[in-house]
């Protein structure tokens, strides 16, 4: 279950920052999701219009 005690010293690589077992990892996943959606929206709003 999320928020349970996890030995973070065993987590390496990307799983150290993006995991579903720690609250910090879940927050990082949410932040990355919001950032990617924002970048996609910004791309489509700012790209040049075709004539």
**Is residue 20 domain-resident?**
yes
Please report the pLDDT score of residue 2 as a whole number: 57
Dihedral-angle region of residue 13 (phi above 0 means left; psi in -120 to 50 means alpha; beta otherwise): left
**Is residue 29 domain-resident?**
yes
Grouping H, G, I as helix, E, B as strand and the rest as coil, residue 3 is coil
**Is residue 3 domain-resident?**
no
Q: Would the pLDDT of 5 be above 70?
A: no
Please report the pLDDT score of residue 4 as a whole number: 62
Domain count, the chain: 1
The pTM assigned to this predicted structure is 0.70
**Is residue 34 domain-resident?**
yes
Domain hosting 24: range is 8-46
Per-residue pLDDT tens over the stretch 8-34: 777 777 777 788 778 888 899 999 999
Residues 6+ away with beta carbon under 8 Å from 19: 6, 11, 25, 26
């Amino acid at each position: 279950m999320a928020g349970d005690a996890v030995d973070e010293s065993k987590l390496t690589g990307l799983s150290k920052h993006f995991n579903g077992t720690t609250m910090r990892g879940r927050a990082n996943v949410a932040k990355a999701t919001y950032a990617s959606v924002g970048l996609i929206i910004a791309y489509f709003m700012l790209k040049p219009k075709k004539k």
